[in-house]
Structure 1
Amino acid sequence: MEQRRVSASSSTAGTTSVPAPTLTSAGFVAPAESDILTGALADMNAALGGNASTALSTPQGQLAMSFTAALGDAYDQMLALFNGVDPDRAQGRMQDAIGNLYFLSRKGASATGLGDFACTVTGAVACPAGSIALYQSVPGLTGITNPAAGVNGAEEEGRIAFEKRRAASVAANAMGFLGALNGAVRAVAGVTDAYVTDNSTAQTQVVGGVSLAPHSLYVCVNGGADADVALAILRKKPPGCAYTGATTVTVTDPDSTAAVPLRYDVSFTRATPTPVYMTVTLGSSATVPATVEQDVRAAVLAAFAVDTSATIGGTLYASAYYAAVAALGSWARVVGITLGLDPSPTGLTAQLAMNMVPTMEAATIAVVLG
């Protein structure tokens, strides 16, 4: 459809067959580049007297394609800008800007760690069972080992993880309810995961596989220094509430106005690294490479590192790993994937208790050719 456009600074008017973008209830809608090209060719033809060839190999065809590419790119940039102000779609620098409104900065890559030990290299560094050994002799230290796999570190906080933490940070401005505690604990430096719940009854209750004392607060956390985690809890918990937790830290209330600063014992739970086992069954064929086990394990571990369900108390789904394995090539014909917390997994889902944080290593991934 031909459009008539009038200049605001003059009385001249022009027409074009190039469709314009629209703003609808669904947002900014750019015309298809194929429609832009059709309109540009029509404009070229009209400008040349109406008898010009519209073949793309002609000079006018080449000009029309260049115009289309430039206009299409401009619309793409406009769409990226509009999406950038929406917290659900923002990424990169635009998402950082939204985070700044909440005084949040994106978390950088973290190191693999357990207890008082941490990897000096940041990122998703694997820590398989038995892989840690004494590198340099230290007086009084005869050896180091890790009987179980450590919790992997993480790459720089991604778009989805950052938005989830930003949303949680809104609740962190309050006090006394679970969302505030969760947001405050997750904001502690080094914390990679947290789970917060409570038992508001007068009886002991088992929730998510954990026994909670009456009228108690339960916080399970992975990463961060004990003192920092305890202080974050103290600042947000309601007064008079008991704790359920195996780690207890004595904290001095920094906001106390008493002549002698008040000290409190704060208890919480450190998440237990829990191995997740997986069996990947593939169809056997002559095209399956000799490196099939290494390839599948690498693909699964990469997918596990970005699985947003792989959290404290989370539910893991076997279906989340199909695409990663299938992407290895046409030879990767997935017959089935099972996973669980048992070395011989048979389930399609794996439910972790709310004191467990999942781990995975190459040794817990079995590859079977059926």
Structure 2
Amino acid sequence: MADYKYINSTGVIMPDTADVREEVCDEYRGVFGDDVITDDWTPQGVLINAETKARTTVIENNAGLANQINPNIATGTFLDAIWALTGGQRRGATYSQVVGKCSGVAGAPIPAGSRARTKNGDEFATLENATIGDLGYVYVIFQATETGPVPAPVGSLTQITDAVLGWETVTNEAVGTLGQDVQSDVSARSMRRKTLALQGVSTTEAITSALYDVPGVRSLSFRENVDDTEKVVDGVTLKPHSIYVCVDGGTDEAIGEALRVSKSAGCGFNGSTTVNVTDPVSGQVYAIQFDRPEEITILMRVYVSSRAMSTVQVQNAVRLAIVDYTRGEQDGEDGFTVGTDASPFELASGVNRTYPDIFIKKLEIANSADQVFSTNTIPVGIWQKAGTAESAITVTIE
């Protein structure tokens, strides 16, 4: 290619493949004459198509590389580098864990790394050495051998993989804690936008950025009162010169520390949850206040039609897709968040995104407090969060 002309002062140009081919054809005509045949079936046509493919590949590669400097499009290590400029980083993969009850001969040792499997074949290993007690059992923390959300429902960890003398049975009396996969590019870009002011203090953006950076925080609401008198803001009474945050997820201690380091000096707090945080410089103890969201249970009636699956499959698929959407487990979707109204339209779109073959005829929702079903949006206060469960969803196939 004699002259690469697809980058100019306005940015990167992505030409049509037909235009690139015509340029190659013009080059052939310039060498072999205007009467050269460039149809696909000719030998020269095959060569022209090959050259066109090579050039478009280079153009697409250059455009893709140039887009890596755009944080809204960047991927992989390019996105990680851009995010690091504002102090953020992608959340890595974690392991699922479950507490197993190991039974057998009293005094029998169970070495760290001893493995057991769930009924689905997922493998877990003990994290530390343990010894079966005088009562014939011991509780041990098992960790999945692979990262990501490996489920361990109650009673599912039952198969001993490694033969350990004296260890006879294993089970789990409580559901395991799910791990997570490496944060996806879509999720990372969303989190970056929420934490752009991570290196700042005092402003709304800085405070919310610090809170979103707390591990486990899924959503939050923020309000402030800048007046000298008590004030009601969106249904919440705020003290003079104070802030209000309602946070879903994260530990109380981590949230308290994030508020301490990010809020402005002299600013007060509001909320029903209080945690004492010590300033490492002065040694002063601050009583940090914030709220945890009050959950509103949403009931649903979904009317669908589908020929792609059986009745039971459709019902289970719809319920699972809705629950995944509300929990924010669909990539790029936040789902039900603090202070966000519950919308039947958004719920239906969550189903269609996962199962496009399922046609949603109507989706009605109701607050469990009054159980009045309609297709209207249910308002949610800034101190509340909508939620649902598979048992709260009725699916009717028409």
Q: TM class, shorter-chain normalised? A: 0.7 to 0.9
- The percent of aligned pairs where both chains have the same amino acid is 24
Specify the alignment match of 1:239 in structure 2: 265
The worse-fitting range, judged by mean Cα deviation, of 33-42 and 94-103 is 33-42
- Between the aligned partners of 1:125 and 1:214, the Cα distance in structure 2 is 47
* Contact 2:93/2:182 (8 A) holds in 1: yes
In structure 2, what residue type is equivalent to 1:175?
V
CA drift of 1:209 comes to: 4.2
CA drift of 1:110 comes to: 6.9
Spell out the pairing of 1:312-323 with structure 2 (5 A cutoff): 312-323=338-349
Specify the alignment match of 1:21 in structure 2: 6
- Between the aligned partners of 1:123 and 1:360, the Cα distance in structure 2 is 24
Specify the alignment match of 2:100 in structure 1: none
Specify the alignment match of 1:279 in structure 2: 301
CA drift of 1:227 comes to: 1.7
CA drift of 1:193 comes to: 2.4
In structure 2, what residue type is equivalent to 1:23?
N
In structure 2, what residue type is equivalent to 1:289?
S
In structure 1, what residue type is equivalent to 2:83?
G
Specify the alignment match of 2:50 in structure 1: 66
- Between the aligned partners of 2:187 and 2:293, the Cα distance in structure 1 is 19
Specify the alignment match of 2:108 in structure 1: none
- Between the aligned partners of 1:119 and 1:300, the Cα distance in structure 2 is 30
Q: Quick one: structure 1 residues 108 and 364, their matched pair in 2 at CA, closer, same or farther if it must change by over 3 Å?
A: farther
User: Where do 5+ consecutive residues of structure 1 fail to align?
Assistant: 7-18, 137-142
- Between the aligned partners of 1:287 and 1:182, the Cα distance in structure 2 is 44
Q: Deviations over 1:80-125 (max 9, x none)?
A: 2222212232233221111111121112357899xxxx99777668
Specify the alignment match of 1:200 in structure 2: 226
- Between the aligned partners of 1:225 and 1:325, the Cα distance in structure 2 is 32
Q: Deviations over 1:254-301 (max 9, x none)?
A: 122xxxx21121122223444343333224x76663221122223334
Which of 206, 210, 221 is the equivalent residue of 1:180? 206
Q: Quick one: structure 1 residues 41 and 163, their matched pair in 2 at CA, closer, same or farther if it must change by over 3 Å?
A: same
Q: Quick one: structure 1 residues 329 and 316, their matched pair in 2 at CA, closer, same or farther if it must change by over 3 Å?
A: closer
Query: TM-score scaled by structure 1?
Result: 0.73
Which of 20, 27, 36 is the equivalent residue of 1:36? 20
Q: Quick one: structure 1 residues 323 and 66, their matched pair in 2 at CA, closer, same or farther if it must change by over 3 Å?
A: farther
- Between the aligned partners of 2:154 and 2:232, the Cα distance in structure 1 is 36
The worse-fitting range, judged by mean Cα deviation, of 152-161 and 355-364 is 152-161
- Between the aligned partners of 1:134 and 1:265, the Cα distance in structure 2 is 43
In structure 2, what residue type is equivalent to 1:270?
R
Number of residue pairs the alignment of both structures matches: 333
Specify the alignment match of 2:254 in structure 1: 228
* Contact 2:246/2:383 (8 A) holds in 1: yes
Specify the alignment match of 1:166 in structure 2: 192
Specify the alignment match of 1:190 in structure 2: 216
CA drift of 1:330 comes to: 7.4
CA drift of 1:168 comes to: 4.1
**2:27 match: secondary structure:** helix
CA drift of 1:135 comes to: 8.2
* Contact 2:38/2:48 (8 A) holds in 1: no
Q: Quick one: structure 1 residues 93 and 276, their matched pair in 2 at CA, closer, same or farther if it must change by over 3 Å?
A: farther
Specify the alignment match of 1:265 in structure 2: 287
In structure 1, what residue type is equivalent to 2:6?
P
Q: Deviations over 1:57-93 (max 9, x none)?
A: 3332222222222221221222222222122322332
Q: Quick one: structure 1 residues 277 and 64, their matched pair in 2 at CA, closer, same or farther if it must change by over 3 Å?
A: farther
CA drift of 1:356 comes to: 2.7
